[in-house]
Chain A
Amino acid sequence: RKEVEQDPGPFNVPEGATVAFNCTYSNSASQSFFWYRQDCRKEPKLLMSVYSSGNEDGRFTAQLNRASQYISLLIRDSKLSDSATYLCVVTGSSNTGKLIFGQGTTLQVKP
C-alpha cells in the first residue's frame, strides 16, 4: 500500500467550475501536511499547508481529518492557469523534514 494515495485523474473541468481532490495517508503519526502544485516538467511548488482547523487561501480551501487520515483540496471558480498536477504531501512521524508524496492528481481546466 502506498503511503499517500491520490486519485490520479485527470480531472477535466470547465472554467469557473469547483473541483475537489482527496488524499489519504497511511501513517497516523504524520505531523505536517501540504498540497504542492507541479506544472508540466517543472519543480513542485508549495500551494498551501494543511491544518486540522482547515485553511483557506483565496479560491483554495484545504481540510485535514486526522481521525480518517484524509486530506482534501477544494478549488473554486477554476481558472485556466489552475491546470497542473496537485501533489498531496505529508511528513513522516519524526518530522525531520522528509516529505512523502502522493502520485499527484492532474487537473485540466478548459475554456
Chain B
Amino acid sequence: EAGVTQFPSHSVIEKGQTVTLRCDPISGHDNLYWYRRVMGKEIKFLLHFVKESKQDESGMPNNRFLAERTGGTYSTLKVQPAELEDSGVYFCASSQWTGRIEQYFGPGTRLTVT
C-alpha cells in the first residue's frame, strides 16, 4: 500500500511569490491533516479535512494560506504571497477514522522563502 506522498520535496521561493504544496493521502483515508514545523519549534497543526470538508482550520496562521481538497482525494496548500516566516517543513498526514487512531505522515515539503 502506498503511503502519504507530498510534492515537491523541496521548494525555494522569493518573498512575495506563490507556492502550492500537494498531498496525496493513503487511498481510502477520509481524514487529511496539514501540519508545519518552523525551525526550532514544535510541529503545529494547521487544518483538518474530512473528505472535501474543512473540519478544523483553527491552526491556519493567516489568510495568505489556502487549503483545498476538491473531490475528497488529494489536497493542496497554497501560500500567497509567501513571507520569510513561512519557511519550514510542511507535513501532511492521513487517517481512516477521526480521533484516537494513528495518523500516517508524508515525508514533508521543505519550504524556504528568501
Residues of A participating in the B interface, judged by any CB pair closer than 8 Å: 2, 4, 31-32, 42-46, 49, 87, 91, 95-104
Give chain A residues whose Cβ lies under 8 Å from the Cβ of B41. 103
Interchain residue pairs with CB less than 8 A apart (21): A31-B100, A32-B99, A43-B91, A43-B108, A45-B105, A49-B100, A91-B99, A91-B100, A95-B99, A96-B48, A96-B99, A97-B33, A97-B48, A97-B101, A98-B45, A98-B48, A98-B59, A99-B33, A99-B35, A101-B35, A103-B41
Residues of B participating in the A interface, judged by any CB pair closer than 8 Å: 31, 33, 35, 41-45, 48, 55-56, 58-59, 91, 93, 95, 98-103, 105-108
Contacts A42-B107, A44-B91, A45-B105 given: A95-B100 contact, CB under 8 Å? yes
CA distance A4 to B56 in the complex (A): 20
B77 CB to nearest A CB, Å = 16
CA distance A103 to B40 in the complex (A): 8
Give chain A residues whose Cβ lies under 8 Å from the Cβ of B102. 46, 49
Give chain A residues whose Cβ lies under 8 Å from the Cβ of B105. 43-45
CB-based contact B100/A32 at 8 Å: yes
Residue of B with least CB distance to A36: B105
CA distance A49 to B101 in the complex (A): 9
A50 CB to nearest B CB, Å = 11
Give chain B residues whose Cβ lies under 8 Å from the Cβ of A44. 43, 91, 105
Give chain B residues whose Cβ lies under 8 Å from the Cβ of A4. 42
CB-based closest 6 A-B pairs: A43-B105, A32-B100, A101-B43, A103-B42, A101-B42, A46-B102
CA distance A104 to B58 in the complex (A): 23
Give chain A residues whose Cβ lies under 8 Å from the Cβ of B98. 95-97
CA distance A37 to B42 in the complex (A): 13
Give chain B residues whose Cβ lies under 8 Å from the Cβ of A42. 107
CB-based contact A99/B45 at 8 Å: yes
CA distance A87 to B48 in the complex (A): 20
Give chain A residues whose Cβ lies under 8 Å from the Cβ of B95. 97
